Amino acid sequence: TQKKPLIISTWNHGLPANEETWKQIKNGKPTLDAIESGMNIPEGDPNIRSVGYGGYPDREGKVTLDACIMDHNSDCGSVSFLEGIKHPISVAKRVLQNTPHVMLSGEGAFQFALEEGFKEENLLTPESEKDWKKWLEASKYKPVINIENHDTISMLVLDEAGNISGGCTTSGAAWKMHGRVGDSPIIGAGLFLDNEVGAAAATGLGEAVIRTAGSAMVVELMRQGKSPDEACKEIVERIYDKHKNHKDMEYLQVGFIAINKNGEYGGYSLRSGFNYAVYDEDKGNRMEDAQFKMT
Ligand code: SD4
């Protein structure tokens, strides 16, 4: 079986992202550029309310974005709490390539984006503004589980050279506090990889993923010999144990995807309803359902 390349992305919006990334890899584009182009699709789609343009705003009506990208050399770039820029994954890639740093945040990330030639845009669509005004009537923060089968898009790639890279992009939790940063831009939480072992990425309630260093742990479990499925399951079990008496439990959902160096992949979530898009030579681009702990 031909196991390379292999692309795996979270949720339904992973399908068009995988499609574009696959095409670019096959055309010989650098893997990071291919990841960027794939993830730009859900970022730019106003109907995807959990990523980029059209994403749900925070409680002040501001759309603030988190994203990161990481390559096989363990180089990474990340932006958090970024406003006014449609494609945070692209800014994250520039942080990786054009700065001595890993992470830029807020106003500084925005200024950097402008210097890199990105243009300021209003990311709050009329639909999201309407939903925000409706939310304001009660102003209750209660994250929705498996938000319309979207949430964060995380993508992991084993490329034709056998190298591993990945990315993650989101508008974060709807109606979050202004300034809230989730797991998605945090290397080790929303995304982690070690080119000698494999890669993992998360979706769901970022707070729970940060508390447990989720993606980094999945990679370490694979290093110890666990399969991607087993490693994702073990960290989800751990997150459940840590949260079963926690105030977040009521709306807690987390899901992980993982790949290893041998081209094996897997995923696991706390609650049912999590699926991911997988693209390989054998079976093409398709959705697969993750195993889960509870409904
Ligand atoms: C985050 N994992 O920021 C992301 C996506 C999300 O509820 O909105 N979760 O926590």
- Express each pLDDT in 127-176 by its tens digit: 999 999 999 999 988 888 887 777 899 999 999 999 999 999 999 999 99
- Give the tens place of pLDDT for each residue, 177-192: 999 999 999 999 999 9
The pLDDT of residue 289 is 97
CA distance 38 to 268: 23
Cα 135 from chain centroid (whole Å)? 25
Structure-token match 């940063």, residue found: 181
184 lines ligand 1 (CB under 6 A): yes
Mean of the per-residue pLDDT values of the chain? 96
205 lines ligand 1 (CB under 6 A): yes
Pocket test for ligand 1, best of 148, 151, 215 (most atoms within 8 A of CB): 151
**pLDDT of residue 279 exceeding 70:** yes
- Give the tens place of pLDDT for each residue, 49-95: 999 999 999 999 999 999 999 999 999 999 999 999 999 999 999 99
2 pLDDT band (50/70/90 cuts)? low
6 pLDDT band (50/70/90 cuts)? very high
The arithmetic mean of pLDDT across residues 257-274, rounded, is 97
The arithmetic mean of pLDDT across residues 248-272, rounded, is 96
Ligand 1 centroid distance, CA of 171 (Å): 8
The pLDDT of residue 145 is 84
- Give the tens place of pLDDT for each residue, 184-220: 999 999 999 999 999 999 999 999 999 999 999 999 9
CB 104 within 8 A of CB 93: no
**pLDDT of residue 261 exceeding 60:** yes
292 pLDDT band (50/70/90 cuts)? very high
Phi-psi bin for 272: left (phi > 0), alpha (psi -120 to 50), beta? beta
Ligand 1 atom having least distance to the Cα of 182:
3
Annotated ligand binding at 205? The verdict is yes
Catalytic residue, candidates 152, 169, 170, 212 = 152
Is 152 among the catalytic positions?
A: yes
Three-state SS across the chain?
Answer: CCCCCEEEEECCCHHHHHHHHHHHHHCCCCHHHHHHHHHHHHHHCCCCCCCCCCCCCCCCCCCEEEEEEECCCCCEEEEEEEECCCCHHHHHHHHHHHCCCCEEEHHHHHHHHHHCCCCCCCCCCHHHHHHHHHHHHHCCCCCCCCHHHCCCEEEEEECCCCCEEEEEEECCCCCCCCCCCCCCCCECCCEEEECCCEEEEEEECHHHHHHCCHHHHHHHHHHCCCCHHHHHHHHHHHHHHHHCCCHHHHHCCEEEEEEECCCCEEEEEEECCCEEEEEECCCEEEEEECEEEEC
The pLDDT of residue 141 is 87
**pLDDT of residue 122 exceeding 60:** yes
**pLDDT of residue 1 exceeding 60:** no
As for the ipTM of the complex, it is 0.93
The pLDDT of residue 106 is 98
AA letter at 233:
K
CB 228 within 8 A of CB 259: yes
Structure-token match 């479990």, residue found: 221
The arithmetic mean of pLDDT across residues 30-48, rounded, is 97
Ligand 1 centroid distance, CA of 175 (Å): 11
